[in-house]
Structures are given as C-alpha cells and as structure tokens.
C-alpha cells in the first residue's frame, strides 16, 4: 500500500519512541526490534528514486530479519 508514517526523534530517547507498531492484519513490531531492521537495511544501498518494488536481491537477505521481528 501507499500507507506510511514518520517518527521524529526516535533516537532522542524513549519518550520519542512508539512502543508497538501494528498492521491492519494484526502483525506487530515492538520498539526493541526496530534497531534490528535498521541495521539490516543500512547494509544496502538505497534503491533508485521512484522504485516501488523491493528487488529480490534486497528482499531475500531481509526476509529472515523481517520474519524474526514482525510477529
């Protein structure tokens, strides 16, 4: 979907964090799991401007991290 949101000041301390992210289908990501996703995604170069689909070369290595963090 085109749904998105931004959390400003995430690294400024716990007062700026969201305790839990929940999708429409009930999957959750806890604040303590966000860093694992950030670390995994930081190892890749950003996709070209306007790219809307995550290519398999990025999706495959991220799949285990996504599966381990989103419940």
pLDDT of amino acid 57: 83
Read off the pLDDT of residues 11-65 as tens digits, 9 standing for 90 and up: 898 888 889 999 889 999 998 898 888 888 888 887 788 888 888 888 888 889 8
Read off the pLDDT of residues 28-38 as tens digits, 9 standing for 90 and up: 999 889 888 88
C-alpha torsion sign, points 57, 58, 59, 62 = positive
- CB-CB contact of 24 with 13 (8 Å): no
pTM, full prediction: 0.66
pLDDT band at 4 (very low <50, low <70, confident <90, very high): confident
């Amino acid at each position: 979907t085109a749904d998105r949101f931004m959390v400003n000041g995430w690294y400024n301390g716990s007062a700026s964090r969201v305790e839990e992210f929940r999708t429409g289908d009930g999957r959750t990501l806890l604040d303590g799991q966000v860093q694992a996703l950030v670390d995994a995604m930081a190892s890749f170069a950003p996709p070209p401007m306007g790219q809307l689909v995550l290519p398999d070369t990025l999706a495959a290595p991220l799949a285990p991290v996504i599966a381990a963090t989103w419940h």
